[in-house]
Chains A and B, each alone.
Chain A
Amino acid sequence: MHTFFDILQILLIPLASPLITGVIKKLKAKFQNRRGASVFQPYRDLWKLFHKDEVISQDASWIFRLAPCIVFAVTLAVGAIIPLIDLATFAAPAGDLLTVIYISAIGTFFLALAGLDTGSAFGGFGSSREMTVSALAEGGLLFSFLVLALVAGSANLFSIADSILTTGNFYLQPIVLAGIGFFIVLLAENGRFPFDNPATHLELTMIHEAMLLEYSGRRLALMEWAAANKLFVFMTLGANLFFPWGLMHTFSPGALAAAVVIFLLKIAALCLAIAFIESTIAKFRFFRLPDILFVSFTLNIVAIGLIK
């Protein structure tokens, strides 16, 4: 039975992540009174890209060619060590919240290097902006997890989920504050509104897309897929750590069905929130982004103050 869950744990993130982006796009279309493409459109896009020839810049080095593999592998590795459906995974012994944060930083590192590698002005500015946003998001990300760790008395993600299931009600305020802080970081790290517009290639403002500008064909597919994975990983972290209700404690068919349904509901709610934000507010000016990120950090500080 455990092998089944382990395989599920590894495969669920990459297999379902295009669906998540499809759902968000569909919801955005509905908000804008459009019919929108099918929720399975991202799969078709990936399939199409994987079958195309690709052009690589003459100036690119092995960093550019290897980066898609690294970025994708990092999302798989992070996906393997977070609580997904049940409270155990084969890779849980790897580490705690810091391990998750710093492993995902490897992906950011190589993504930004790949942006610089071709010597295009767009790629360089994309990398610069990406690193600015992710450097400032680091404090909020780490501290929102820290709030949970202080509540749970453990920095292990599985113990956090487990402990908040049982004692969370006493600390509702700090957890909600930290949850908001985390949600801001989720938007920042994944290039969603108000930080970045995932739908356009507007040269003056783009961040994530600017780094991918020189990619084409199957490497572009892998990069896009990795971005979807990362979004799904962050949404899973938000859904299962800050609101862990529904995670399966001990195995039974009923519990499994309930866990899957509740997990999907939580993810759907997050998709709705993201789509709602992207349909109602505008992208912020770049130099106002630090303000939102510092708000995230401050919310977590307040949450720590509430616990102590």
Chain B
Amino acid sequence: MTEFFASSRGFVVLLLLFAIGAAGSLLFNKNDRQANYWSNLFACAGSLWGMFVAIGALVAPEPVAFTLGFSPFSLLRFSFLLDRLAAFFLFVISLIAFFCSIYAIDYVKHYYGKYGIGTLGFFYNIFIAGMLLVASAANGLFFLVAWEIMSVASFFLVIHDRDEQENIRAGLLYLIMTHLGTAFIIAAFLLLYRSTGSFDFSAIQSGGAAISPVVKNAVFVLSLIGFGTKAGIIPLHVWLPAAHPAAPSHISGLMSGVMIKTGIYMMIRVFLDLLAPFPLWWGVVLLIAGAVSALLGVLYALAEHDIKKLLAYHSIENIGIILLGLGSALTFLSLQLPTLALLGLVASLFHTLNHATFKSLLFLGAGAVINQTHTRNMEELGGLIRLMPQTALLFLTGSMAISALPPFNGFFSEWLTFQSLFQGIAATDSRTIWVFVIAAGSLAFTGGLALACFVKAFGAVFLARPRSNEAQHAREPSFFMLAGMWPLAALSLLFGIVSGYVANILQDVAGTLSVFQGFPSPFLLAETGRISAGGFSFVSPPVVFLLLLIALFAVFTAFNFLFFKKQKTTFGPTWDCGADLTPRMEITSTGFARSIILIFKGIMKPTMLKSVECRDGETRYLPKSREIRLGISNIYDTCLYKPAQDLALRFSLYARKMQSGLINMYILYILAALLGALYFSL
């Protein structure tokens, strides 16, 4: 049975499901209800089918490779390769897409009559199919086509809520940044084509020895920038905190949960699979990029008061953590320590899976809140735990998982990442140890700051008293939205408890890469009951879970049912120091994080804008109202993108001089271009 799913026919069915979903929702564009059910049910069916395809490819003894159709161009082949790495990413994409689609059935209802659901469903199906194609393509040109399908479809999804000018701007920024990245990727593949004469991944891999070191390094830098833009490495992240909040929430969940991971997938594919062996500095660069992204990502998240921007910055942080695993894998491989490299790669794959589950859960939860309160500003929320108890519990689960609290899944993948960094400190020599020390230090502080950030996020949104009228009238979301979130929360816990089993599967997935062929016994021993990193360390997920469960159960029972039951409990107002306690006296999310921002003021550049409006313009003794705005300055715009833009503008001004308007001049240009082309081709 599994052979059928993981075959060309099974894959065609998969693509057809999404194609029918896309075409049908365009047909039903006139009727919002039909378009909604049609598009999301087909997306559900397609994602479910995608999970079966992925499982089929995971259990298949050999990688499944096939070519579909024919292409009119000799270099472009629609060839697919479903090896275990691709299958793993197919699985993650399908898994998250499945729950996001269930959620979407009720979520998109608030767009009825406002924006066409047909176009949303069309691009939604195309977007998921595009991601699946990206993960399974085995030809460079075909991959670029799939990459474009994914990027353009997601652009239209970002600007779905198009009445707000801000969303259009965010979408344009995303479109520009993603194409900037694509340009670098195209350059990388062209360089590879020059050296190997083919765009096929298999041909590039077998011709890898012929690629000169200079070209290899150039390909590394180009694809790091290209794929790093999609993944959201700092300083290429600028589109991410703009685009994720603009998109509808189930789209944000998909973009943040899985789309940015396609960048990680391609880094693994290109660096580890196609280009190995490689010099030491590749891994070091990835480690430093990961350390910087993780630490800065969480700091920027702390400074946010827009709930979805906060989550978007946490995606950057988690991409950093994934890169720490991947970077240590590359470093260990260059140092001829393949067993440790496998540990690093398993850590990054596991964190990819975990981040996909809890981040999509958090975005869906945020979507439910925004749907009810019509604001993303956390300063206007509060007290929702009483009005939306289930959503609050789900968001709390996601918060605990992303803060790496045991027994949830985030802890165990961060544990693996820590182990690979510890091994880097313990097992390598003085050249690389300090890189690993920096990386481990960054990860340690990131963990602590993420905890602070989610105390702030959960506290500001769900605890205390409502800070606005909208927040007082919120209600629990409807059935399908909850049905999309509950399984994700359950998976966050389940992947934690059985993380040994999952890590074992991931070790199989990573071990099939050619760089890991032929070494004796793995360093990481993962069983259901116990994960051990060599003789250095171990953790037992079920024991941790049981320990916490038993301790909590014992204390709870003793406290509530056994001892001191006679005491009365009365309810009264919070102590108000004699004044009337209003929600404005609660700590704000900006205030909560301000002390951390001020401590890191060297990096964060905090700003404070004061404006006073006075009753009498002359003397300024009697202020009528004061306003203070706390924020941080955007150093990437002022220091990187603005200068680059100015440079481009200035260059364009020079280039404009070519445009003289004389027809003779243009004929001269044509002649020169022709001669030049002839000269270089002969």
Chain A positions near chain B (C-beta within 8 angstroms): 50-63, 66, 68-70, 72-74, 76-77, 80-81, 91, 93-96, 98-99, 102-103, 105-106, 108-109, 112-113, 116-121, 124-125, 127-129, 131-132, 134-139, 142-143, 146, 149-150, 153-156, 213-214, 217-218, 222, 286-287, 290, 297, 301, 304, 308
Q: Is the CB of A218 within 8 A of B573?
A: no
Sort A-B residue pairs by CB-CB distance and give the 6 closest, nearest first.
A124-B587, A138-B448, A119-B464, A135-B448, A116-B459, A155-B537
The stretch from B40-48, B404-412, B639-647 touching chain A is: B404-412
Whether B282 is near chain A, meaning CB under 8 Å from some CB there, is no
**Known A73-B555, A109-B405, A154-B535; contact A94-B540, beta-carbon cutoff 8 A:** yes
**Known A99-B539, A214-B575; contact A139-B448, beta-carbon cutoff 8 A:** yes
Contact with A218, one of B555, B564, B570 (Cβ below 8 angstroms): B564
Q: Is the CB of B552 within 8 A of A70?
A: yes
Q: Is the CB of B572 within 8 A of A103?
A: no
Contact with A138, one of B418, B444, B591, B595 (Cβ below 8 angstroms): B444
Contact with A286, one of B386, B569, B593, B595 (Cβ below 8 angstroms): B595
Whether B262 is near chain A, meaning CB under 8 Å from some CB there, is no
Q: Is the CB of B406 within 8 A of A106?
A: yes
Whether B598 is near chain A, meaning CB under 8 Å from some CB there, is yes
Q: Is the CB of B426 within 8 A of A94?
A: no
| Closest chain B residue, CB of each to CB of A76 | B551
Question: Cβ of B451: which chain A residues have Cβ within 8 Å of it?
Answer: 105, 108-109, 131, 134-135
Q: Is the CB of B464 within 8 A of A94?
A: no
Q: Is the CB of A116 within 8 A of B567?
A: no
Q: Is the CB of A58 within 8 A of B444?
A: no
> In the bound complex, how far is the Cα of B587 from the Cα of A98, in angstroms?
32
Q: Is the CB of B540 within 8 A of A55?
A: no
User: Can you give 12 contacting A-B residue pairs, CB < 8 Å?
Assistant: A61-B463, A73-B552, A77-B551, A94-B547, A103-B548, A120-B575, A121-B586, A127-B459, A128-B594, A146-B425, A155-B536, A214-B575
**Known A77-B547, A91-B543; contact A98-B592, beta-carbon cutoff 8 A:** no
Q: Is the CB of B551 within 8 A of A74?
A: yes
| Closest chain B residue, CB of each to CB of A66 | B556
Q: Is the CB of B571 within 8 A of A113?
A: no
| Closest chain A residue, CB of each to CB of B592 | A128
A277 to chain B, nearest CB (A): 23
A158 to chain B, nearest CB (A): 11
Contact with A139, one of B386, B415, B444 (Cβ below 8 angstroms): B444
Question: Cβ of B537: which chain A residues have Cβ within 8 Å of it?
Answer: 96, 98, 149, 154-156
> In the bound complex, how far is the Cα of B571 from the Cα of A138, in angstroms?
37
The stretch from B67-75, B145-153, B433-441, B626-634 touching chain A is: B433-441
Q: Is the CB of B459 within 8 A of A76?
A: no
Contact bitstring B547-585, A, C-beta under 8 A = 1, else 0: 110011011100110011001111111111000010101
Known: A98-B539, A99-B406, A119-B465. 16 other contacts (CB 8 A): A53-B570, A56-B572, A59-B574, A69-B560, A74-B548, A93-B538, A95-B544, A105-B447, A119-B383, A124-B464, A124-B592, A131-B452, A132-B596, A134-B452, A153-B426, A218-B567
Q: Is the CB of B543 within 8 A of A93?
A: yes
Question: Cβ of B433: which chain A residues have Cβ within 8 Å of it?
Answer: 308
Q: Is the CB of B569 within 8 A of A63?
A: no
Contact bitstring B92-112, A, C-beta under 8 A = 1, else 0: 000000000000000000000
Contact bitstring B364-390, A, C-beta under 8 A = 1, else 0: 000000000000000000110110000
Chain B positions near chain A (C-beta within 8 angstroms): 382-383, 385-386, 392, 400, 403-406, 411, 415, 418-419, 422, 425-426, 430, 433, 437, 440-441, 444-445, 447-449, 451-452, 454-456, 458-460, 462-465, 530, 535-540, 543-544, 547-548, 551-552, 554-556, 559-560, 563-564, 567-576, 581, 583, 585-587, 591-596, 598-599
Q: Is the CB of A102 within 8 A of B406?
A: yes
Contact with A132, one of B386, B445, B452, B465 (Cβ below 8 angstroms): B452
> In the bound complex, how far is the Cα of B459 from the Cα of A118, in angstroms?
10
Q: Is the CB of A119 within 8 A of B463?
A: yes
Question: Cβ of A128: which chain B residues have Cβ within 8 Å of it?
Answer: 456, 587, 591-595
Contact with B543, one of A94, A154, A290 (Cβ below 8 angstroms): A94
> In the bound complex, how far is the Cα of B577 from the Cα of A213, in angstroms?
12
A307 to chain B, nearest CB (A): 9
Question: Cβ of B596: which chain A residues have Cβ within 8 Å of it?
Answer: 131-132, 135
> In the bound complex, how far is the Cα of B56 from the Cα of A167, in angstroms?
52
Interface centre among B441, B455, B552 (most CB of A within 10 A): B455
B291 to chain A, nearest CB (A): 13
Q: Is the CB of B567 within 8 A of A150?
A: no
**Known A121-B585, A124-B586, A131-B451; contact A304-B559, beta-carbon cutoff 8 A:** no
Question: Cβ of A91: which chain B residues have Cβ within 8 Å of it?
Answer: 543, 547
Q: Is the CB of A56 within 8 A of B437?
A: no
> In the bound complex, how far is the Cα of B425 from the Cα of A304, in angstroms?
9
> In the bound complex, how far is the Cα of B569 from the Cα of A134, in angstroms?
32
Question: Cβ of A66: which chain B residues have Cβ within 8 Å of it?
Answer: 556
Contact with B445, one of A125, A135, A287 (Cβ below 8 angstroms): A135
> In the bound complex, how far is the Cα of B596 from the Cα of A134, in angstroms?
11
| Closest chain A residue, CB of each to CB of B553 | A73
> In the bound complex, how far is the Cα of B573 from the Cα of A129, in angstroms?
24
Q: Is the CB of A61 within 8 A of B536?
A: no
> In the bound complex, how far is the Cα of B411 from the Cα of A105, in angstroms?
11
Q: Is the CB of B599 within 8 A of A93?
A: no
Q: Is the CB of A139 within 8 A of B543?
A: no
Q: Is the CB of B587 within 8 A of A127?
A: yes
Question: Cβ of A112: which chain B residues have Cβ within 8 Å of it?
Answer: 455, 459
| Closest chain A residue, CB of each to CB of B418 | A98
B501 to chain A, nearest CB (A): 17
**Known A93-B530, A119-B581, A132-B595; contact A103-B440, beta-carbon cutoff 8 A:** no
Question: Cβ of B591: which chain A residues have Cβ within 8 Å of it?
Answer: 124, 128
Q: Is the CB of B463 within 8 A of A63?
A: yes
Contact with A53, one of B405, B449, B568, B598 (Cβ below 8 angstroms): B568
Question: Cβ of A214: which chain B residues have Cβ within 8 Å of it?
Answer: 574-575
> In the bound complex, how far is the Cα of B547 from the Cα of A103, in angstroms?
10
Question: Cβ of B425: which chain A residues have Cβ within 8 Å of it?
Answer: 146, 150, 304, 308
Q: Is the CB of B547 within 8 A of A72?
A: no
B166 to chain A, nearest CB (A): 29
Q: Is the CB of B599 within 8 A of A81?
A: no
**Known A142-B444, A153-B426; contact A53-B556, beta-carbon cutoff 8 A:** no
A116 to chain B, nearest CB (A): 4
Question: Cβ of B411: which chain A residues have Cβ within 8 Å of it?
Answer: 102
Interface centre among A96, A222, A308 (most CB of B within 10 A): A96
| Closest chain B residue, CB of each to CB of A297 | B441
Question: Cβ of A106: which chain B residues have Cβ within 8 Å of it?
Answer: 400, 405-406, 548
A155 to chain B, nearest CB (A): 4
Contact with A116, one of B539, B551, B555, B587 (Cβ below 8 angstroms): B587
> In the bound complex, how far is the Cα of B572 from the Cα of A61, in angstroms?
13
> In the bound complex, how far is the Cα of B449 from the Cα of A74, in angstroms?
20
A3 to chain B, nearest CB (A): 16
> In the bound complex, how far is the Cα of B405 from the Cα of A69, in angstroms?
17
A230 to chain B, nearest CB (A): 14
Q: Is the CB of B426 within 8 A of A109?
A: no
Question: Cβ of A213: which chain B residues have Cβ within 8 Å of it?
Answer: 575
Interface centre among B419, B445, B560 (most CB of A within 10 A): B445
Contact with B595, one of A55, A117, A129, A297 (Cβ below 8 angstroms): A129
Contact with B552, one of A69, A80, A109, A129 (Cβ below 8 angstroms): A69
Question: Cβ of B441: which chain A residues have Cβ within 8 Å of it?
Answer: 139, 143, 297, 301
Q: Is the CB of B406 within 8 A of A69?
A: no
> In the bound complex, how far is the Cα of B572 from the Cα of A156, in angstroms?
47
Question: Cβ of B555: which chain A residues have Cβ within 8 Å of it?
Answer: 69, 72-73, 76
Q: Is the CB of B404 within 8 A of A55?
A: no
> In the bound complex, how far is the Cα of B596 from the Cα of A286, in angstroms?
11
> In the bound complex, how far is the Cα of B445 from the Cα of A54, in angstroms?
38
